[in-house]
Structure 1
């Protein structure tokens, strides 16, 4: 029987941009993926559709998957000849139990590889402006677990030696143990006035920091309700966060903004907002669900209409699957709903002929109404608006409709829901995002009572919000994600967030 292989992958501290090229390659090649809960939200987006994905994650205080069960699954699938990728947050060999899993592989003759990841003890502080080493301040750094194995008869930490360590101390997973950690370090001779900083959810969109001293940090963390995952930095360098903080600087500094776009599309908007200083909460409430469809013979088609980037992607994927490409569109005029969809078409080597100035169906219908069309192919989501289709059929055009996907609701986990509703703004880029967000939040009355300000990408989305009994605070002049960002910057300048 063919022996499989195991790759132990570190997915980094949470920001998907910090995943390594090798990590992404391994995930894309995997037959079976065993993953933790603290990996980046998009970490598995590149996995094969037929890959088996098993959640074996652990969250402090929550449900636990026994390590023995994780190792059993890892061995079983590898012994069946599969490529098993074990994806962990951070680095697999830094408080990740990757060493134990490697030992199990070696014991059973399973070949394995280790893909290091950026560890939270360095990345979290760095994103908070804290270098863990600094000339004339800290020439050494020690990484310490703040949550030892409860089955051990006694601690492995030599607290007096740790207190005397001449450098920075970084504690992982020590939020609940902060009072004990501070007490032990002070008892061992560490100054009670020594700076301390806790970085919660480091590198993630809702990262935050709490600063104090050894004598005050436990009380401050409790008052701020700091929760895992967090790292705690002890030493003079912890005081550099105020001076060197770089995340969240710009015209949207201090603003927390909820992005409700589908996960695959949210990254671009989220990146623009973060670059302007916003703290972004990605709360995808809609997901495009692929549908089976067929592209007809295109020889007699005069006009091809795309209503979304998702439709463009699905159309060209199917074109390729049927051994066709952009050359099949020769002589066909291409119309798109707006700039985002135009960019998606251009990515396939085709320049759209019709791009309305306002990204709504009415504008596109008006634009193509003067074009002599006998046969048109309209690509849109199932259940989408029929403004363009109706306008063409009213002129006697024979219209074929393709529905390559349907937009369905995606639920929010309780933590994401809480963060989304406690933000300053929520952005809506489609009518479905408006409807589904209200449902995921628990109703329009919950959204109203939360105090969220609402930003709409355009009139169709605004209409959907009003149907829910909600009035947007701003509507983008240019009905694109970039226009939505501009509207938020203008609104923020007019009414800066409260301190």
Structure 2
């Protein structure tokens, strides 16, 4: 059994040790503050148990959680208890660890980054500073500061803040007026800088800064509420260049619908997250292996040099293999493995890939480097590159690609004099059955800023999936991977606001960033 601090909200702030335990767990018991993206790191087949607890709403009582952890661990399963922030800081991690010990279960505890320090940091507030803040106090704001017998020493806290300290209140937004009144009653200047940081470390982060006596009203006017950290002290008023790095990112706070297949959205999501965006997974396609692998298997056996005792009636070997996507590389690697083969069968075959991402995937999966990487990353561009180099005439090509691939590549190679162009279906694209609830909710509440399309099929399928709710796509801007996809989008009545300079996810993200934020009411 392992108690893992999930951190303040950004899944990237999970510790390396915590990620290792999460990926090996048979059972993951998680609460409402753990990032949902962390659950994608659990191994296939792991049981994911939501015991999320919010004020006045518990999916499972604490005693039942304790019993669940003990029962699963005693059954011989590897259990991770994933808790928001740090397990021992204003949570009930110590109680859960003690319950495990009483139940005869060893419990490892892995600390997590706590929101009381992380949220102010990403909001541009250093909780300690050589000039103005030499101490920091972490305080629960969940209790009523006016109740008899409060466990928080507000007199001492007011004195610490007045002498150059910072106080960070957890779960204190709802009681902010009372906290401010109590601190003022104990002598703290009501003009002391204070701040509220909501959804710290995430693309949804918002910050409100005001004097202590006006913070509650300012937060209410700005709509800033829980979950949030309240910061009181001179540090909350520091304004220096570079501190607000988090919100300075080009796509900060913009919600982006990612319509790529469920098999490969993560790289685009990571690029968007790095730019500050809030990606929402909405796969419109799913990839499946061909029902009949025989044509692909026959073609793959024609790769590489012929065996020493080759059959004179056997078809000639291919001279070149063209892979048009990372998915094609994955399909190739998987099929070679199924046939008991590996990258050695590609010896002597010219390897051409479309795009640097495909080249990277080829090296990752098969440890092979591409021989040819055309500058124009389209089927027609690939054919033109072979023709211009005099590398098409008389040669035999194997095109390993999707079932919906466009015809420009084989037609161009044949026109350039290729002796044979064999197209093999590496994988088949199927429309998704439906969109995830999170994606539908975001579209319906009009909070989506961007729709991203990496192929014409993703755009067509999204429109088809929405059906009578097609009008939900009118407000968001469209980011397209290239001219062909843009043309399809416009044909569907979608407004293209950004188009990648080259068909890569990096270029797609850069085009969105260059387009700037959406105008109000656009």
TM-score of the superposition, structure 1-length normalised?
0.83
Gaps of at least 5 residues in structure 2 are: 304-317
Give the secondary structure class of the aligned counterpart of 2:493: coil
Q: Which residue of 2 aligns with 1:246?
A: 245
Q: How does 1:200-215 map to 2 (within 5 A)?
A: 200-215=198-213
C-alpha distance in structure 2 between counterparts of 1:214 and 1:340, whole Å:
51
Q: Which residue of 1 aligns with 2:493?
A: 469
C-alpha distance in structure 1 between counterparts of 2:279 and 2:148, whole Å:
42
Using the TM superposition, give the Cα deviation of residue 389 of structure 1 relative to its aligned residue in structure 2, in angstroms.
7.9
Change (3 A) 1:310 1:39: farther
Q: Deviations over 1:297-350 (max 9, x none)?
A: 523142444333234234324544655332232233434333322222233322
Q: Which residue of 2 aligns with 1:58?
A: 53
1:285 to 272, 279, 282: 282
Contact preservation (8 Å) 1:39, 1:87: yes
C-alpha distance in structure 2 between counterparts of 1:254 and 1:53, whole Å:
30
Q: How does 1:17-416 map to 2 (within 5 A)?
A: 17-60=12-55, 64-148=59-143, 155-166=150-161, 167-240=165-238, 243=241, 244-249=243-248, 252=250, 256=254, 258=256, 260=258, 262=260, 268-269=267-268, 278-286=275-283, 289=286, 291-292=288-289, 296=297, 298-301=300-303, 302=318, 303-320=320-337, 323-347=340-364, 348-364=366-382, 370=392, 372=394, 376=398, 378-380=400-402, 384-387=404-407, 391=411, 397-403=421-427, 406=430, 408=432, 410-413=435-438
Q: Which protein has the larger Cα radius of gyration, Structure 1 or Structure 2?
A: 2
Using the TM superposition, give the Cα deviation of residue 138 of structure 1 relative to its aligned residue in structure 2, in angstroms.
2.3
Using the TM superposition, give the Cα deviation of residue 407 of structure 1 relative to its aligned residue in structure 2, in angstroms.
6.2
Using the TM superposition, give the Cα deviation of residue 60 of structure 1 relative to its aligned residue in structure 2, in angstroms.
4.8
C-alpha distance in structure 1 between counterparts of 2:468 and 2:60, whole Å:
30
Q: How many residues align structurally?
A: 482
TM-score of the superposition, structure 2-length normalised?
0.80
C-alpha distance in structure 2 between counterparts of 1:333 and 1:60, whole Å:
62
2:472 to 434, 446, 457: 446
Contact preservation (8 Å) 1:300, 1:375: no
Give the secondary structure class of the aligned counterpart of 1:171: strand
C-alpha distance in structure 2 between counterparts of 1:61 and 1:469, whole Å:
46
Superposition RMSD on alpha carbons, in Å?
3.6
Give the secondary structure class of the aligned counterpart of 2:487: helix
Change (3 A) 1:358 1:178: farther
Give the secondary structure class of the aligned counterpart of 1:403: strand
C-alpha distance in structure 2 between counterparts of 1:179 and 1:442, whole Å:
47
Gaps of at least 5 residues in structure 1 are: 1-5
Give the secondary structure class of the aligned counterpart of 1:17: helix
| Deviating more after overlay: 103-112 vs 426-435 | 426-435
Using the TM superposition, give the Cα deviation of residue 77 of structure 1 relative to its aligned residue in structure 2, in angstroms.
1.2
Contact preservation (8 Å) 2:280, 2:438: no
